[in-house]
Structure 1
């Protein structure tokens, strides 16, 4: 078996650090449907989403399945217009 070189060990260490950082960022999302308030006008009308709306949808994407399970939020989040807004922001809804 070939011994690991210093370069391979360094690459493995960097990969572990990147994965650990990605896990912390994923856990740092605070699920708050109020954060989607900049998207209300785009969801309820045919106006295009604002940059702030798109930023908030991207931030809240890990929470969308949770919102769709809530009967009070589902009627706002699980609509064709909401899906259209998310798609136009480049953030398609996750498969729940």
Structure 2
């Protein structure tokens, strides 16, 4: 291999590793307890707080997992939960 090609290949490999590392650092930990700030908005007709919306957006990748859990399904897919998600700008997941 020519030195230029080898150097380019190494640089590309390092870039891929850096990007992969940043993706792993941004991965969400699915913990339904993170949605506690949304409890009052889901259980009543009150508007969601900004903290609720922030947590809901963070936990968005986990919503299908929560919907598949029989213990959580009723809370996550309830009409009030859907209203909170809509108010926060979080689309209803298609699971």
Structure 2 unpaired stretches of 5+ = 1-11
Larger Rg: 2
**Residue of structure 1 equivalent to 2:33:** 34
Write the distance in 1 (CA, Å) between the matches of 2:21 and 2:86: 27
Normalising to structure 2: TM-score of the pair?
0.75
- Counterpart position of 1:4: none
SS in 2 for 1:31: coil
Q: What is the TM-score with the length of structure 1 in the denominator? A: 0.74
Separation in structure 1 between the aligned mates of residue 19 and residue 66 of structure 2, nearest angstrom: 27
C-alpha offsets along residues 37-68 of structure 1, whole Å, 9 cap, x if unaligned? Answer: 00000001010000000000000000000000
> 4+ runs of 1 displaced by more than 3 Å?
15-23
- Equivalent in the alignment of 2:70: 71
- Let me know the Cα RMSD of the aligned residues: 2.1
Task: Give the number of equivalent residue pairs.
Answer: 83
